[in-house]
Amino acid sequence: NGDLYAAATDVITRYSTATSTWTTVLGAFSISVYTDIVVTSTGRLYAAFDGRDANNGVWTSTDGTNWTKIGGDGATNNHVNWRGVNDYGRVVLGVAPSDENMLYALYSNNFSSSCSGTPGPEADLFKWDQSTATWMDLSANVPDEAGCLSGNDPFAVQGGYNLTIGVKPN
């Protein structure tokens, strides 16, 4: 409809081209910092908030006004509890262009890995299927080379700062 959405610190905002104003449409949960938003070609919105309190996680909306929590601690309807409140960090989202019912969420699992002890990836990956309202854990697909290589293995996300996700078009 021409509206613009922005993921800002602690909030998702919408700029209305009809009224030339910005409005907070989701957020202000008190302690969230990292947010993300994607909009499908049909207008479905998905928004993500880091795991700093029980309100945070992944939300969806068809109108930008009414939101339903679909992921993170406390979500309903086939939710995935992503290690509990305060146990996950920044969440980034990607939608499959070939099937916009498929949403991917890559998030910092707050596991601080190093090359001592048992190293492991610092991120988890989940896929949401909007048509069945279910999550699938794809974390086993996060890169984790054999052994431990300084700088890139185990999969390091620098506290979530280095997270990005792209979905192959087909």
- In this prediction the pTM is 0.86
Chain mean position to CA 119: 23
The helix/strand/coil state of 105 is strand
Beta sheet of 11-16, edge-to-edge order: 4-8, 11-16, 21-27
Helix (H, G, I), strand (E, B) or coil at 43: coil
SS3 of 108-170: the string is: ECCCCCCCCCCCCCCEEEEEEECCCCEEEECHHHCCCCCCCECCCECCCCHHHCCCCCCCCCC
What string of pLDDT tens digits covers the 170 residues of the chain? 789 999 998 899 999 999 999 999 998 776 667 899 999 999 999 999 987 777 788 999 999 999 998 887 655 443 444 444 446 788 999 999 999 999 999 988 777 666 666 667 778 889 999 999 988 888 888 877 666 665 566 677 777 777 889 999 88
> Residues 60, 130: contact at Cβ < 8 Å?
yes
